[in-house]
Amino acid sequence: METTLIYQNKNLKENLEKYDYDSNLIIGEMVCTKIEKLGNDLNLKHFYSIKITKIPTRTDYHLFSFEKLSEISRKLINGQNTLGLLTNRQFWSKFFLGGYRVIDVKTRESIDEFPSFTIKILVFSEYDNLDVKILKNLSIRLRNIDPTLNLQFDYLGEYNRKKMLEEIPNFVPINCSEGIRRKLGEKTINQIFDLEFQTPRYFGRLFKSNTQ
């Protein structure tokens, strides 16, 4: 059976070959440098990892796209859907000061299964124990966006460069059968290869911080 190896982020692959660096290290250093520019604002902040996973199925793969995947995080962070008295945007701003997100794609157990697509969001907050306090509310908001999504919400503690680097997706080939490749479509396959979505997208205080 013919299989296809799809490398995440062609430009990072070229950097890896040229400079002998791991692409996740390149992105990780970029993210940590930006976070550390917050200076004393990092003191006593609590960091969390939010992972939102979408796995296409035989009944909905034709509806999948990277644009729709990115739309999930936009609706969650800036959306106007309301639960209780708060819109998603108000809810997000109330609990989280800032962060970034990347998209990770991984092969599953069989090459005949659709790969998993995970939105990885790292956020920081003034509040402790949010992974317990707001998990149910966050889950409902996410389910209202797409009931097929899987949520993982973890507490990372105070800022630690090593932990931050561990949250960056690894540079790995995606192995899938020719049938899966055809079902995902040429556009999605090309986007996995180039994966511009792997470039970190910042929001809140990280978006506003000096990038020079």
Query: What CATH number should be reported for the domain holding residue 44?
Result: 3.30.70.260
The pLDDT score that the predictor gives to residue 116 is 94
Its domain, for residue 41, covers: 3-207
- The answer as to whether 212 is a domain residue is no
Which residue in 47, 144, 131 sits closest to 88, CA to CA? 144
pLDDT of res. 185: 92
Give the pTM. 0.84
Mean pLDDT by 10 residues, the chain (212 residues): 44 44 68 85 89 95 92 93 93 93 89 93 95 96 96 94 82 80 89 70 75 42
pLDDT of residue 95: 96
Whether 159 is covered by a domain: the verdict is: yes
- Is residue 53 a part of any domain in this protein? yes
Packing angle between helix 66-78 and helix 88-95, nearest 10 degrees?
A: 70
Write phi, then psi, for 82 (nearest 5 degrees): -110, 135
Question: First-to-last CA distance in the chain?
Answer: 49
Count of domains for the chain = 1
Instruction: Give me 30's structure tokens.
Output: 């970029």
Beta-ladder partners of 203: 99
pLDDT of residue 22: 55
Is 89 contained in some domain? yes
Helix residue ranges per DSSP H, the chain: 10-19, 23-36, 66-78, 88-95, 130-133, 135-145, 161-166, 178-184, 186-194, 205-208
Q: Is 61 exposed, middle or buried (0-12, 13-18, 19+ CB in 10 A)?
A: middle
